[in-house]
Structure 1
Amino acid sequence: MSGADTVVDRLDRLARISAYPWKLTRRVFTPQHAEADALVLGWMEEAGLSVRRDPAGNLIGRLDGPIPGGPAIVIGGSVTTGEDAGPYGGTLGVVMGIAAVARVLREGPRLRHAVEVVAFAEDAANRFGPRLLGSKAVVGRFDPALLDLADDYDVTLRQALDAYGLDADKVETARRLPDEILAYLEVAAEAGPVLEQSASPVGIVPTMSEASMLRITLTGAVGSATTIPMADRRDALAGTAECILAAERIGASREGIMVTVVRIAVDPVPAFVVTGSVTFGVLIGSSDDAARRAVVPDLTAAFEGIAARRRLEITVEEGIDPDATRCDPGIVALFERAVAATGLPVARLAQGLSTNAFNMAVLGPIGLMLVRCRGAVGWGPAGVVDPADLAAGLDVLTSVVGTLAGGTDVPSPGGP
């Protein structure tokens, strides 16, 4: 069985482990998580890795280089899933990481640096709320207050960790130091249409997109839908509809910018009345921080103009606005050379989903590759990754891992 065939087979086997027979759901620190981890542990050992579980529940397979305990090239993912998930998600990174390391050991250069594959304990299904729990612990971002969060059955994270055989009071000791990580690599199925529309089965991510957030409240006047003439209405819902169209128009006019209206709250809920108040969020996403932030005043001005014309009061609140996470230019170039060496065209694209790479960038340089997904929903049940595309992705990942772990031209530990 080829490496790509092995990846397909293992993804299929993991997809059969679910809390429900009719949809794929593997929540963190559940029997299904443990069953999936047991399979992955066996595959790690089969590839020649020594395996341990850290205090946060992350499963780590490691192959040392010439210096025991030296800094490592880390490939990460997760075997937990969201609700009604597809077979890929974070699982693809773990399974392909193991296959790439096995191939490097079999065919590649002699290792000069350690290699690790990590299956992070990720709360992808929001069992407790905050996602990326495992990588937060690894980079020192785990808040002990999270231990008191409870799931729908009033089981706290502390209790779940204890039931999983872990000591909840030691989660923070999973933290690692920057000089332990030479580079962090991640592979995922694309959750968008760019690669499906291109000629390449894989794409390289130079920057992981971030988003600015606005919270808009329009306030008009509640009244009867059957007695107030149209000209006299101060309808907050009608004003919101116009704002949504304005947001769409502004987003469509800017290259590389995505503007989305989210979470609309209407008061009162329309029932033969003119709506008095609507609050909605606006998500502005891009990998270009300056371009993204330049859209905010344009949106604000458009919304304020609509409110003034419709005689509505408006409140605009700006929320989170973090900088985009940059992948290491050297690793990006290494991925692109590996793609070109296979004879495939090089495609660059953004990644807007939160992954463990966002956290791992705290410890060192990161690199991210996406694999084409038919249906453009790499994290959902409708997405399909062709075996040939998986094979191409595995070739590229194997080349990058072999070069980084077997060569001297690698980033310095702890940063680019």
Structure 2
Amino acid sequence: MSTAEMVVERIERLARISAYPWNLTRRVFSPRQAEAEGLVLAWMGEAGLSSRRDPAGNLLGRIEGRIPGGPAILVAGHVDTRADASPYDGALGVLMGIAAVERLVRQGTSLHHAVEVVAFADDASSRFPVPRLGSRAVVGRIDPHTLDFDDDYGVTLRQAMQAHGLDPERLADATRSVGDVLAYVEVAAEAGPTLEQSGSPVGVVPALTASSVLRVTLKGAAVHAATVPMAFRHDALAGTAECVLEAERIGSSRDRATVTVGRLDAQPVPVSVVTGSVTFGVIVQSSDDAERHVVAAELVAAFNRIAGRRRLEIAVEQGIDPDATRCDPGLVRLFERAVEASGHSVVQLPQGMPTDASNMSVLAPVGSVLLRCRGGVGWGPAGIVDPADVAVGLDVLTFVLAALTTGSDATPSDTLDGHRKSS
């Protein structure tokens, strides 16, 4: 069995551990999660990694470098899942990290720096409204009130952690200092069609997409549809329809940003009444902050023009508008060399889904690659990565880890064995 086939077999084994037999749902700090973590810890041990669980519930598998206890290169994913998840979502990064480290050990690579494989807790945030709890704890971004958040059954995060054998009062002890981490890398399945269309099995991420969120309210007059002629109406729903089409036009005119109109709340509901008020959300996403801000401003201007022409009142609120997370240029170039060494052309594409890299960028340079997924649905239940593409991803990851941990430019003969060499 090749290394890539072993990774796929382990992913399929984890996928059988689920709260429901009809889909993959493995919530954080649940019995099913504990069962999955037991397997991951065993696989870390088989690969020669010493393993532990930190106070936030993150699993850490470590192989020491020249100086025991010294700073480490981290490669990470997660084992908990959202509801109805892909088997490859999160687990792919963890299991490929374990396999890549095992490959380095087997090849006798002299590690100057430690390497850690991390399975972050609550990355999927399918149980509590705390996205990426594990990496938040590692970088010290945990609000104490977080422990009081509860799930759909009234179980608080504090109670869930206690049931999982953790002490929630020690959550802050998971925080690490800047000097603890030399670099942070991720491997994930692409949640989009770019790699399939390009024909490349792996893409290098220059940045993670950020979002600008607008909440738009149009107000007109709620009048009876049978008694008010069309020319005298101030129809908020008709104005919203025009805004939606204009948002689509603006988004379609841009190559580096997407525009999506979300939920619409219309009042009143009866079909016999002209809609008096509509509130809708718009999300602008891009890895280019300047482009995202320009598009958001263009949308606001267009909505105001529509409201003025239709004699509607308009209010636009903008939510939190974080900057995009930029991957380290040196890591981007290193990943590109690794892709070229594997015999494939370099494709750059932004990571459109939120990941732990956004938090970890506080501590260290971050880098990321995405693997081609059938149908571009890497985070959905149908998401599958072909074993041949997993093999290429392993070659790339091993190349990068070898270069980072030895402090030298690795060569293909030193690090690659996936689909071109026997495991």
Normalised by the size of structure 1, how large is the TM-score?
0.97
The one-letter code of the counterpart of 1:238 is A
- Local SS of the residue matching 1:350: coil
Matched with 1:403 is 403
How big is the shift at 1:266?
A: 1.4
- Tell me whether 1:49 sits opposite 2:38 in the alignment: no
Matched with 1:302 is 302
Are the structure 2 counterparts of residues 175 and 409 from structure 1 closer, same or farther at C-alpha, using a change threshold of 3 Å?
Answer: farther
Matched with 2:91 is 91
Matched with 1:36 is 36
- Local SS of the residue matching 2:197: coil
* 1:6-405 paired onto structure 2 within 5 Å: 6-107=6-107, 109-405=109-405
Per-residue Cα deviation, 1:149-202 (whole angstroms, up to 9, x for no partner): 111111100000111111010001100001000100101000011001012100
The one-letter code of the counterpart of 1:137 is A
Give distance in 2, aligned partners of 1:111 and 1:79: 27
Deviates most, 287-296 or 93-102? 287-296
Per-residue Cα deviation, 1:121-147 (whole angstroms, up to 9, x for no partner): 015143111210010000000111010
**2:190–2:378 Cα contact (<8 Å) kept:** yes
How big is the shift at 1:54?
A: 0.4
Per-residue Cα deviation, 1:358-413 (whole angstroms, up to 9, x for no partner): 11101000000000011111010122211111111111111111111122579xxx
Give distance in 2, aligned partners of 1:336 and 1:291: 25
Per-residue Cα deviation, 1:315-336 (whole angstroms, up to 9, x for no partner): 1112221111110111111100
How big is the shift at 1:310?
A: 1.1
Give distance in 2, aligned partners of 1:297 and 1:180: 41
Give distance in 1, aligned partners of 2:139 and 2:250: 37
The one-letter code of the counterpart of 1:268 is P
The one-letter code of the counterpart of 1:205 is V
Give distance in 1, aligned partners of 2:296 and 2:5: 47
The one-letter code of the counterpart of 1:16 is R
- Local SS of the residue matching 1:274: coil
The one-letter code of the counterpart of 2:24 is L
How big is the shift at 1:83?
A: 0.6
**1:44–1:50 Cα contact (<8 Å) kept:** yes
**1:204–1:349 Cα contact (<8 Å) kept:** yes
Give distance in 2, aligned partners of 1:325 and 1:15: 30
How big is the shift at 1:108?
A: 5.4
Give distance in 2, aligned partners of 1:190 and 1:123: 17
- Local SS of the residue matching 1:217: strand
Give distance in 1, aligned partners of 2:8 and 2:270: 49
How big is the shift at 1:22?
A: 0.3
Give distance in 1, aligned partners of 2:122 and 2:389: 26
Give distance in 1, aligned partners of 2:409 and 2:371: 26
Are the structure 2 counterparts of residues 75 and 243 from structure 1 closer, same or farther at C-alpha, using a change threshold of 3 Å?
Answer: same
Deviates most, 334-343 or 228-237? 228-237
Give distance in 2, aligned partners of 1:123 and 1:155: 18
Give distance in 1, aligned partners of 2:363 and 2:124: 22
Give distance in 1, aligned partners of 2:270 and 2:195: 41
The one-letter code of the counterpart of 2:326 is R
How big is the shift at 1:109?
A: 2.4
- Local SS of the residue matching 2:376: coil
Are the structure 2 counterparts of residues 249 and 282 from structure 1 closer, same or farther at C-alpha, using a change threshold of 3 Å?
Answer: same
How big is the shift at 1:226?
A: 2.5
Quote the RMSD (CA, aligned, Å): 1.2
Give distance in 1, aligned partners of 2:52 and 2:110: 24
How big is the shift at 1:342?
A: 1.3
Per-residue Cα deviation, 1:183-224 (whole angstroms, up to 9, x for no partner): 001010000110010121000001111111111100011122
Unaligned runs of 5+ in 1: 411-416
How big is the shift at 1:301?
A: 1.3
Deviates most, 59-68 or 220-229? 220-229
Give distance in 1, aligned partners of 2:252 and 2:359: 30
- Local SS of the residue matching 2:196: coil
The number of aligned residues is 410
Give distance in 2, aligned partners of 1:198 and 1:109: 34
The one-letter code of the counterpart of 1:299 is L
Normalised by the size of structure 2, how large is the TM-score?
0.95
**2:121–2:132 Cα contact (<8 Å) kept:** yes
**1:215–1:279 Cα contact (<8 Å) kept:** yes
**1:202–1:372 Cα contact (<8 Å) kept:** yes
Per-residue Cα deviation, 1:276-315 (whole angstroms, up to 9, x for no partner): 1111111111111111111122111110111111111001
- Local SS of the residue matching 2:153: coil
**1:248–1:259 Cα contact (<8 Å) kept:** yes
Are the structure 2 counterparts of residues 364 and 17 from structure 1 closer, same or farther at C-alpha, using a change threshold of 3 Å?
Answer: same
Give distance in 2, aligned partners of 1:113 and 1:277: 60
**1:108–1:402 Cα contact (<8 Å) kept:** no
Identity over aligned pairs, percent: 65
Give distance in 2, aligned partners of 1:384 and 1:55: 33
Give distance in 2, aligned partners of 1:389 and 1:232: 61
